[in-house]
A = this chain, B = another copy of it.
Amino acid sequence: MARSPKTAPKGRKLSNFLCFAVYSANLAFGRAYKPLLDKVGLTYTQYIAMVALSDEDEVTVSALGEKLFLESNTLTPILKKLEQTGYIKRYRDPADERQVRLSLTPVGRKLIEQDLSVSLVEATGLGDEFPVVQQTVSRLRDNLLRATKADD
């Protein structure tokens, strides 16, 4: 029951916080990807958006947003930047002019098809645990989002 005087009586160790583990792991991923992405002139978020677009083409901004858990306020500037860089095209859907559809340019597709993340799999040091961790963290996310949406 001994306590050090300078430390909080109820001091909470940061390492006990799952949110901090996730927060800092996300920072770490960003830094790990940075040297790879710098070579192709992409940021971390831009890269994730490109991956989502490589999975399905011609999607609307809001459909992409559902995949990424983001909305137009965040996506629009990123997508404009990607268009400006020449990796994607943005165009109004003729059938519904409210919607903006997105597609990878040939350059963008070629870029995303050369798997930039391969070398990082081993950097995670997770080995066989990799798929389990991925699935568990995804489930964590889904549970949190569901719980957050529940009380509004």
Residues on A facing B (Cβ under 8 Å): 6-29, 31-33, 35, 44, 48, 51-52, 54-58, 67-70, 104, 109, 112-113, 115, 117, 120-121, 123-126, 129-130, 133-145, 147-148, 151
Contact = CB atoms under 8 A, between A and B. Distances in A.
Contacts of A26: 22-23, 25-26
A104 B35 CA distance: 37
A76 B107 CA distance: 40
Label chain A's interface by main secondary structure.
helix
24 contacts: A7-B55, A7-B56, A9-B113, A11-B55, A11-B56, A16-B134, A17-B51, A18-B121, A18-B126, A18-B130, A19-B29, A21-B135, A22-B22, A23-B26, A27-B141, A28-B140, A28-B144, A29-B144, A120-B144, A123-B147, A123-B148, A125-B139, A133-B136, A133-B140
